[in-house]
Amino acid sequence: MAIPVQLVSSSVLLLAAALNTGAAPRASAQQPTPPPHAPLLSRVAPDQPVLPPESADYQKLQARLAQGWNTWDVNSVTTFVHLPDGLAIHVGLKHNSTLAGTAFLDNALIGRLSRDAEVIFPGPHAWDGSYTDLSIAWKGHKWRVQSAHDGDDLVLLATPLATDAKPESVLPPTLVVSVDLLWNKPGEAVRNPDYIVNQGLAGPVNVYCTLAGLKSRTENENANLPVRGAYFAVDFTAPVGISTGKRRTLSEIESILHRQETAFHSTANRSAGSAQATPIYEAIETTLGWDTIYDIEKHRVISPISRVWSVDWGGWVLADWDTFFAATLAGVGSRDLAYANTIEMLREETAEGFVPNYARADGWKSFDRSEPPVGAITALGLYEKYHDLWFLKDTFEPLLRWNRWWEAHRDIQGYLTWGSDGENKPGNFDDGWVGTRAGAILESGLDNSPMYDSVTYDETTHLLQMGDVGLMSLYIADCDALAKIADTLNKPGEAKELRDRSARYRAKVESMWDPATGIFLNKDLHTGESGHRLSPTNFYPMMARVATPEQAKIMVEKHMTNPMEFWGEYVIPSIERDDPAFKDNDYWRGRIWGPMNYLVYLGLENCDLPQVRRDFAEKSWKLFLKEWTAKGHVHENYNGVTGEGDDVNSSDRFYHWGALAAYAEYLYLTQADPSPK
């Protein structure tokens, strides 16, 4: 497996530390990097559940999504693929410097951290790929690649940009545009003197280059290019246009690009509903646009957590709450993509009835643990916007199985906690964390949170001995949302079951209020003591409507807006600022995370604290903008003091849930009624 070196070393070191100190290892993107000794022997579980057949409505939805030109290939954002036939046009660059040696950039990814990696600034990306724009810097060269639809055709424009490189040390690069068919699709691409014809399932498609027929320095030099099909190769000293279907001039291509760029902005402005919300809408659309791919293994369109993670883990990786949050983000403007991400995450449900912590290519998934239950609030939110009853019918049963699973497998004395079921090793599957304390903490999604540093793990039950305020609040919200869905589907028995369950856990969370501290506290079920390490999860009772108005006001005034704890220029850190672990600035030990901002903001929507809600949303947006404006980055997590994402190597630079920080401001700006919900 291709695993980033820094992730392997960090995980191994932290595993050793966890065994000695009881602290949880840090595992990037909620999918842990297995230690070298982990026995990864079997990929597919023999007792995987038989998935129900896809509904006709969902089959039509996936067919609609998987059409036309887009950046479907997970391996490169400069590969443009036509679905369903798999015709691909790759835009690459050959570096010709005599000082640096010959090098060829074929596949390009946003945020790669390896030495001498390309640096990409992602520009706009429409949901359907009708307009895309990015710039690349690599080995002293800079260039821009734009694409646009013209009916069923694609046009591309590659433009060299000014650099600081010394002309005597950098020879002109060679732009290489190659054509082939991906995923073993039948057909071939053949080079003619001034165009390429692709013969595939869709019939012949001609690909033209505005500089076709012009040679680079020598024919022999281009003969050694490591490309996968027929190609154009030209000295890259002026703009180069590519078009399918018919020959187009450079000016015609530029005109199409301008038209589609204008359409991108006008559609975003119309969809966002206000000039203030438009930049946020465009940022979310662009983030999901670049992070959406076609998965040939299961023949589906999905938005994996990031391309870098997906490439390193075999082709795609979906994580539980990450993917539901991707659906929420997509819901601002792409109903189909939002539904697809929700349903595909649910279709990864295990035989035991839970949505796994992660699922990835070739049948791997976490058979021992789940992750925070946010599926029902996601599904209900999308239904309340788009009102498609079939979507609720498709999602209700797997959501109900998952809801029942929590009570059956994660309850201790009426409290919910996290666990890792060591007996769940179908086949010989073990990712290194199954049945361990670290695996139980990974189920929380807060992989190395200081909240769990001193919590006891029961080796027999595979459960952490802690009643978790955050989990229980999310579960109450899950029960309540699912009960509303049951009402809509005319399932009174299930609705009552869910409301009864909600009431039981609601009473437990109410008992976890600590008047002296002025907040809901976790319960150590081994000692009977309350836990006083505070995280944003302690505010989740506001989202679940457990907190009374008076309790919410106390929590916000005493803790949330206290600059010694959670308030500051940027919000909201994953552990309070005066906790000793805050200065670790390591993953969930002090850094700021988009999903926490989103869930806390949902809680503020239920409170009559309009100024705090306003300030919280603005601070979240400011956090997102810092590196979005400067670098085009959407970070997995951010520094709790400086707001930076690039200050560490454990924050993926284009991880879609980072846009949840921007989404908090979007919700505020588009809220029709500012009063508590």
**If residue 197 lies in a helix (H) or strand (E), which one and from where to where?**
strand 195-200
| pLDDT, tens digit (0-9, with 9 covering 90-100), for 340-398 | 999 999 999 999 999 999 999 988 899 999 999 999 999 999 999 999 999 999 999 99
Question: What is the predicted pLDDT for the residue at 229?
Answer: 80
Task: For residue 147, give Cα distances in angstroms to 134, 175, 255, 349.
Answer: 9, 16, 12, 37
Q: Residue 129 has what pLDDT?
A: 98
One-letter amino acid of 534? L
- SS3 for 529-595 is CEECCCCHHHHHHHHCCCCCHHHHHHHHHHHHCCCCCCCCCCCCECCCCCCHHHHHCECCECCECHH
Closest to 336 (Cα-Cα) out of 68, 62, 90, 35: 62
Pairing of β 411-412 and β 415-416: antiparallel
Structure-token pair, residue 73 = 């290939």
* Distance from C-alpha of 339 to C-alpha of 360, rounded to nearest angstrom: 19
| Rounded-to-integer distance, Cα 607 and Cα 554, Å | 11
**360, containing H or E segment:** strand 358-360
Distance in angstroms (rounded) separating the CA atoms of residues 89 and 87: 7
- What is the per-residue pLDDT for 616? 98
**CA pseudo-torsion sign 538, 400, 504, 381:** positive
How do the domains of the chain map onto residue ranges? 75-266, 536-677
Q: Residue 220 belongs to what H/E stretch?
A: helix 219-223
Residue-level pLDDT at 650: 94
Q: Which residues of 186-211 are buried (b: 16+ CB within 10 A; e: fewer)?
A: ebebebeeebbebebebeebebbbbb
Q: For the chain, which ranges sit under pLDDT 50?
A: 1-44, 46, 216-220
Residue 428 pLDDT: 61
Tens digit of each residue's pLDDT (9 = 90 or more) over 593-627: 999 999 999 999 999 999 999 999 999 999 999 99
**Could you give phi then psi for residue 462, rounded to 5 degrees?**
65, 30
User: What does the angle CA 608 – CA 611 – CA 613 come to, to the nearest 5 degrees?
Assistant: 70
Distance CA 132, CA 148 (A): 7
Supply the pLDDT for residue 1: 29
Instruction: Tell me what pLDDT residue 426 has.
Output: 65
